Amino acid sequence: MASYEHIRGNLVRQQKGMELLLSLLEEEFSLLREHRTEDVVALEFSIHELLRQLADERMEIKKIMQGTRLAEYADMLEEERHAEIRALLKSIDDAEQKSARQASHNTRLSLALLDQSQGLLDYLYEQVAPKNKVVYGRNGGYRDQRSGPSLLSGRA
C-alpha cells in the first residue's frame, strides 16, 4: 500500500477539486441567469476537464488502496491521522453533495431557458410563415393555398 502522504495528497487534491467544481457550477448558474451562453459554453469545457481530472484522482486512489476502503484505512491509523483522513473524506462527500444539487439547479434552469427559446422560435416562425389564404387557381376558381414553405411553379 502507498504511503500516508501519497494518499493524503490525493484526498487533498480531490477536496480542492470538488470545492472548485462547486464554485464553477455556481458561476455557471449565474451566467445562465444572465443569458450569457457563450460564457457558459466556455465554462462547460473547464467543468468537463475538472471532472476528468477528478475521475483520474479517484481511479488512482482506488488503484493505490487495492480494494481497501478509505474509511477502513483511516481506522488503522493513529488518532491524529485518522481524524485528518476522516475530515478529508467528509469534506469531499459534502462538496460532492452540494455540487450535485447545484448541477441539478443548473440543469433545470438550462432546460427552462431551452423551452423558452423554443417557444420564442415557434412564435417567430408563425409570424413569418405564409398564412393560408384563398387564392385563384389556374381555372379562375377559388382554391386553398398550400400552407408552409413550397417551391413556386408557373403551373398550379
Domains in the chain with CATH codes: 4-129 (1.20.58)
Give the residue carrying C-alpha cell 457550477. 25
Mean pLDDT of the chain: 86
pLDDT at 57: 95
**Confidence tier at 132 by pLDDT (50, 70, 90):** low
Q: Comparing 14-28, 46-60, 93-107, 141-155, which segment has the lowest mean pLDDT?
A: 141-155
Question: Does the pLDDT of residue 22 top 80, yes or no?
Answer: yes
Would you place residue 95 in the very low, low, confident or very high pLDDT band (cuts 50, 70, 90)?
very high
pLDDT band at 37 (very low <50, low <70, confident <90, very high): confident
Confidence band (pLDDT; 50, 70, 90) for 127? Answer: confident
Residues 12 and 31 sit within 8 Å (Cβ to Cβ)? no
The DSSP symbol for 68 reads -
pLDDT at 141 exceeding the cut of 80: no
pLDDT at position 126, please? 80
Which of 37-51, 59-73, 134-148 has the least mean pLDDT? 134-148
* CB proximity list for 81: less than 8 A, separation 6 or greater: 4, 8, 74
Residue-level pLDDT at 87: 95
Model confidence, pTM: 0.72
SS3 155: coil
Report pLDDT for 67: 85
Number of H helices, E strands in the chain: 4, 2
- Cβ 17 vs Cβ 60: under 8 Å: no
Q: Examine the pLDDT at 39 and tell me if it is beyond 90.
A: yes
CA distances from 101 to 22, 28, 97 (A): 10, 13, 6
